[in-house]
Structure 1
Amino acid sequence: MRVRNLHLRHLAASPDRVGALLDGLASAADPLWPADRWPALVLDRPLEVGAAGGHGPVRYTVAAYTPGRHVRFRFTAPRGFDGFHEFTVEPGEDGTVLRHLLVIRAHGPALLTWPLVFGPLHDALLEDCLDRAERALTGTVRAPARWSPYVRLLRAAAVRAGRRRDNPLGARAARP
């Protein structure tokens, strides 16, 4: 199964200001990733080609990086996720477009885990990320993302599982 998942946000800010958010990914004061609501994006070194890490059970390496413009992460886990996800900063009309694209060839366990678990969680996380970018650049969010009842159920199940064992979604996932 081929998956192509696109999220984007038109932002009333210059490409340089949006690019600065991108360059802060996985830093101690990451201005883009919603680590207050989701597992933090952690890398084994600063954002650069070859850096390895991930968030929660999702693992990847930095395959390409153009400061202020583009970063591509190639998946290494979970099993069955062959592909990448990337952020791109694109000049747009009256501002800039921050774009996130995920492309995978799902096989094996991912044929079930993508549509039932990872896909809905991914969509919610990315909308939270774009809300965070909009708030950082404009001081407000025009239409804040809302988690679906299904996403809230998945997160509650992950928190319960985290109490029973070391779960990557753990306690951080409990915060609404």
Structure 2
Amino acid sequence: MNVVNIHKRHINQPKADVVRLIKTLSKKEDKVWPNDNWPPMRFKNGLKVGEKGGHGIIRYEVEAFFPERLIVFKFLQPKGFNGIHKFEIEEINANTTLVTHSIIMKTMNFMTTLKWVLAIRWLHDALIENAFDTIENNSLEIKKHTTWSIWVEFLRFILKKIR
């Protein structure tokens, strides 16, 4: 199955400020990843081309890293996820930056497709919206938190029970 999953958010911050936040991704002082509710993104030696890491059961390798505009990760796990996910940063104007997260991949067998359709897609969508909230919340007094669907709540409940 071909998968194209794109999330975009206009951040009311200059690009330089957003880039500073993106550069903290996967570090101890991460200001992007919603670590309070999701498994942390980890790379042993930080974001560098060729570095392997991931979050939860999802594993990937840094394929490209241009901190001012693009980070590309190539999927390693789950088996059958063939493709990439990426963050892109684009200046819209002096005070607005567009952050885009995309997954472009193929699921290579029935079980992987089923996992994507029934669970991983829903969890991923919630995680990315929470990450965008985290980016925005670095400059907001009233914090944002995208609510999860009942399906995401159910999946998270099930995952906690089987761990």
Q: Scaled by the length of structure 1, what TM-score is found?
A: 0.88
Q: One-letter code of the match for 1:147?
A: W
> How large is the RMSD of aligned CA atoms in angstroms?
1.2
> Superposed, which structure 2 residues align to 1:7-156 within 5 Å?
7-93=7-93, 94-108=95-109, 109-141=111-143, 144-156=145-157
Check whether the contact 1:22–1:87 (CA below 8 A) recurs between aligned residues: no
In structure 2, what is the Cα distance between the partners aligned to 1:4 and 1:43?
Answer: 25
1:92, CA displacement in angstroms?
A: 1.0
1:145, CA displacement in angstroms?
A: 1.1
Partner of 1:169: none
In structure 2, what is the Cα distance between the partners aligned to 1:115 and 1:67?
Answer: 31
In structure 1, what is the Cα distance between the partners aligned to 2:99 and 2:138?
Answer: 13
In structure 1, what is the Cα distance between the partners aligned to 2:160 and 2:71?
Answer: 30
In structure 2, what is the Cα distance between the partners aligned to 1:67 and 1:56?
Answer: 24
Q: 1:82-106 CA distances to partner (integer Å, 9 max, x unpaired)?
A: 0011111101145100110111111
Structure 2: gaps (5+ residues)? none
Check whether the contact 1:12–1:95 (CA below 8 A) recurs between aligned residues: yes
Q: One-letter code of the match for 1:131?
A: D
Q: Helix, strand or coil for the counterpart of 2:128? A: helix
In structure 2, what is the Cα distance between the partners aligned to 1:52 and 1:68?
Answer: 21
Q: Helix, strand or coil for the counterpart of 2:139? A: helix
Q: How many residues align?
A: 161
Check whether the contact 1:32–1:133 (CA below 8 A) recurs between aligned residues: yes
In structure 1, what is the Cα distance between the partners aligned to 2:69 and 2:140?
Answer: 19
1:79, CA displacement in angstroms?
A: 1.2
Check whether the contact 1:12–1:138 (CA below 8 A) recurs between aligned residues: no
Moved beyond 6 Å, runs of 4+? none
Structure 1: gaps (5+ residues)? 163-176
In structure 2, what is the Cα distance between the partners aligned to 1:98 and 1:63?
Answer: 19
In structure 1, what is the Cα distance between the partners aligned to 2:58 and 2:90?
Answer: 26
1:69, CA displacement in angstroms?
A: 1.8
Partner of 1:171: none
In structure 2, what is the Cα distance between the partners aligned to 1:88 and 1:149?
Answer: 29
Q: 1:22-44 CA distances to partner (integer Å, 9 max, x unpaired)?
A: 11111011000001100000012
> Superposed, which structure 2 residues align to 1:149-164 within 5 Å?
149-162=150-163
